[in-house]
Chain A
Amino acid sequence: MTPEQIIFYVFAALVIISALLAVVVKSLVRSIFLFFVTLFAVAGLFVLSLGDFVAVTQIIVYVGGVLVLMLFAFMLSSKELLNTLELVKTRYSAVQNIPAIVLSLALFFILVFALVKSNVNQLDWINGGNHLSVSDNTVQIIGINLMTNYLFPFEVASVFLMMALIGAAHLARKDKAE
């Protein structure tokens, strides 16, 4: 059991448990917090598979941006809901879950079955030479690629972000007249 595997299993367990809890728990605040923990664990996994720049982006953009946004949205939208929830402690709509659980498990088994059957590890492109090593300077490679191979999507992404900004701002803006 190399230390590397131990860390992997720790992070994997962390991801699965926090995700499950985030989904099962009733109150929104706790689920957002658990979502926060899951994201951190995933960032850890990224570091493990030599994606350090991606891990950092994940933490800054995802955790910093998305999570905070959700908290604001929650604050703005669920005041009454929060107290009504507290009062009504019923185990709401348990029956409706059964089909969803069955469906998800079925999908899970199919995915696992597919992975096991296609024994991904022995794939020739995986074992081919072209392998990242710990010492590689991933940021430099990403930078070069960004500016050469992925230049077109980069530009399109910029327009996409600008549009999302205008759109979200338009929707959220209060009407001029009010």
Chain B
Amino acid sequence: MDDYSLYISDSLNGTIAGIRGIYPEIGLVVSFLLVIFSELFFVKRIKQLPFWITLISLAVVFTLTIKQFAIGDSLTLYSGMIVLQPASVYFKLLFLLSAILFIVFVRNNQQMQQHKKGTGDLYAVLIAVLLGMNCMAMSANLLMVYLSIETVSIGSYIMVGYISGDGKQAEASIKYALFGAACSAIMLYGISLIYSFTGTLNLNADLLEGLNAIPVWSAGLAITLFLVGLGFKMSFVPLHFWSPDVYEGAPTPVTAFLTTGSKIAGFALLWRVLEAFNSSGNAISVYDFQGLIGIVAIVTMLFGNLAAIWQDNIKRMLAYSSIGHTGFLMMALVANTAGFKSLIFYLFIYLLTNVAAFMLVDKVEQESGSVNISTYLGLGKSMPLTFISLLIVLISLTGLPPTSGFVAKFLVFGSALESYKSSGSSLILWMMITGAVTTVVSLFYYFKVPLYAYLRKTESILPREKFDVKLVISLVLTFLVLIFGIFPQVITDLIN
């Protein structure tokens, strides 16, 4: 019995020492409990108490996360379960930003506020999901990976099905849940194969040696099955089927959160996995991630942009466009370390533009009741501010110069070119060409909105534009998108 005693004492010391590295996560758990209590007991008296508690606690966690920069280089905690790096801190900040914007969006979303069962639970689920995302960004162990993906996924099923006001949202949540459950089951099976082949779950060097011992394609099979789960979160091509239907069906704030938050979490996890598999100075290249990402990126870009041409429902179009952007972002991943800065910048701009886009779309839906682009006739004049900022956001999504979308695409092109120079594989070249072609194609469906809103007239009387908080926030976001286009170094200096 005693052989464990000395072992226990030093692992307990490790645990206590580890706490220093996970202040943000602790903050999240505390706020999770606070929200639950406020939801249960105080909601009768102060209606929006959970909202304010969540907001304040997120702000606190934000400051805690910023302090984490001081940790310096990577720090493995809790016996290899999680590893804390500056990279994952950036991702955590992005998750928090996306969560804050989500809460504010929920606060101003008519559909959510009129929900009879109240939005308290949503905030609690959100915080749990946030914790899951943080773990995704930090996980260094396959069990940790599975647990964090499950937390984020289950939380998202709940959020998608939260209101289930009409058939569509229920259908969206069931599709999301089933597809997600199947993918995570496949991923779990992949992890079990990896475990059986290598004997360890920690994403480190000896896992690579284990995989090296067995024939290359059986290791490939195990990793491919594992990547299926990851692909579900990032929704690149073979795993993208769920996203158009779910994004269209889910309530707009949740869609905004899914396209930004959970997608960025997917990228964080892929970044962690890539770093782990390449960290051994690619002495042992077990699996050709470069080729996989290249092909998947090209197909995703083509699929996302080409399919979007047909969409009439604005949310469905934005869904396809976010698939297109995923493909484009994977180009940054191909350049591994060099591409990190452009990846973070692109994700940050993508976060701002997407949330702004969904807020504006929601505002148009709320005031004019039109969800399809073809019913946007003549709205350009009657809702000037909304549609000007929507136009700027769409221009940024296309990547035309004055906006930050262009600088983001430019940086990604730059990092891809850099990796082409070092590796010289023509696949990267084809990726860049596809990127350019799909940018031109994307112009077409993004410009259907101003085409209908401005260029086409309608006789019917159109609603006046109400100046409310949502419009203010989206104007601020649009202004940021423009300013970062002209002075991008404000952001890039922060990312080192």
A residues bordering B, Cβ < 8 Å?
110-111, 114-115, 117-118, 120, 123-126, 140, 144, 147-153, 155-157, 159-160, 162-164, 166-171, 173, 175-177
Contact digits for B127-163, partner A, Cβ 8 Å, 1 yes 0 no: 0110110010000010110011011001101100110
Check B197–A123 contact: CB distance below 8 A. Answer: yes
Q: Which residues of B contact A115 (CB under 8 A)?
A: 218
Check B121–A170 contact: CB distance below 8 A. Answer: yes
- CB contact between B218 and one of A117, A140, A150, A170 (< 8 Å): that residue: A117
Would you give the shortest CB distance from A74 to chain B, in whole angstroms? 16
Check A151–B196 contact: CB distance below 8 A. Answer: no
Q: Which residues of B contact A164 (CB under 8 A)?
A: 154, 158
- CB contact between B116 and one of A111, A140, A169, A176 (< 8 Å): that residue: A176
User: Of all chain A residues, which has the CB nearest B80?
Assistant: A149
Q: Is the interface of B mostly helix, strand, loop or mixed?
A: helix
Q: What are 15 A-B pairs at a CB distance below 8 A?
A: A110-B221, A126-B199, A149-B78, A150-B143, A151-B78, A152-B82, A153-B143, A155-B29, A156-B131, A159-B29, A160-B128, A160-B150, A166-B121, A167-B157, A170-B158
Check B214–A157 contact: CB distance below 8 A. Answer: no
Would you give the shortest CB distance from A12 to chain B, in whole angstroms? 17
Report if A176-B117 is in contact (Cβ < 8 Å); known contacts: A152-B81, A160-B151, A171-B161: yes
Contact digits for B70-89, partner A, Cβ 8 Å, 1 yes 0 no: 00000001110110000000
- CB contact between B144 and one of A110, A152, A175 (< 8 Å): that residue: A152
Check A151–B4 contact: CB distance below 8 A. Answer: no
Classify chain B: how many residues form its interface, as a range: 35 or more
User: Of all chain A residues, which has the CB nearest B214?
Assistant: A118
Q: How far is the CA of A13 from the CA of B150 in the complex (A)?
A: 31
B198 CB within 8 Å of chain A: yes
Given A114-B215, A167-B155, A170-B117, output 15 extra A-B contacts at Cβ < 8 Å. Answer: A120-B196, A123-B210, A123-B213, A125-B198, A144-B8, A147-B8, A149-B78, A149-B81, A156-B147, A159-B151, A160-B151, A163-B128, A166-B125, A173-B117, A175-B116
Q: How far is the CA of A117 from the CA of B213 in the complex (A)?
A: 12
Report if A163-B158 is in contact (Cβ < 8 Å); known contacts: A125-B199, A148-B79, A152-B82: yes
User: Of all chain A residues, which has the CB nearest B10?
Assistant: A148
B217 CB within 8 Å of chain A: yes
Q: How far is the CA of A149 from the CA of B302 in the complex (A)?
A: 44
Check A163–B79 contact: CB distance below 8 A. Answer: no
Q: Which residues of A contact B135 (CB under 8 A)?
A: 156
Report if A162-B32 is in contact (Cβ < 8 Å); known contacts: A114-B221, A148-B8, A167-B158: yes
Q: Which residues of A contact B198 (CB under 8 A)?
A: 125
Check B15–A148 contact: CB distance below 8 A. Answer: yes
Check A177–B116 contact: CB distance below 8 A. Answer: yes
Q: How far is the CA of A118 from the CA of B82 in the complex (A)?
A: 30
- CB contact between B128 and one of A118, A152, A155, A162 (< 8 Å): that residue: A162
B11 CB within 8 Å of chain A: yes
User: Of all chain A residues, which has the CB nearest B162?
Assistant: A170
Report if A148-B12 is in contact (Cβ < 8 Å); known contacts: A123-B197, A160-B132, A176-B117: yes
Check B79–A114 contact: CB distance below 8 A. Answer: no
Check B77–A152 contact: CB distance below 8 A. Answer: yes
B36 CB within 8 Å of chain A: yes
Check B147–A166 contact: CB distance below 8 A. Answer: no
Would you give the shortest CB distance from A143 to chain B, in whole angstroms? 10
Q: Which residues of B contact A151 (CB under 8 A)?
A: 15, 78
User: Of all chain A residues, which has the CB nearest B122?
Assistant: A170
Would you give the shortest CB distance from A145 to chain B, in whole angstroms? 10
Report if A163-B124 is in contact (Cβ < 8 Å); known contacts: A149-B79, A152-B144, A170-B158: yes
Report if A157-B147 is in contact (Cβ < 8 Å); known contacts: A163-B158, A177-B116: yes
Report if A167-B12 is in contact (Cβ < 8 Å); known contacts: A114-B218, A149-B79, A156-B147: no
Q: Which residues of A contact B151 (CB under 8 A)?
A: 156, 159-160, 163
Most buried by B among A125, A162, A167, A177: A167
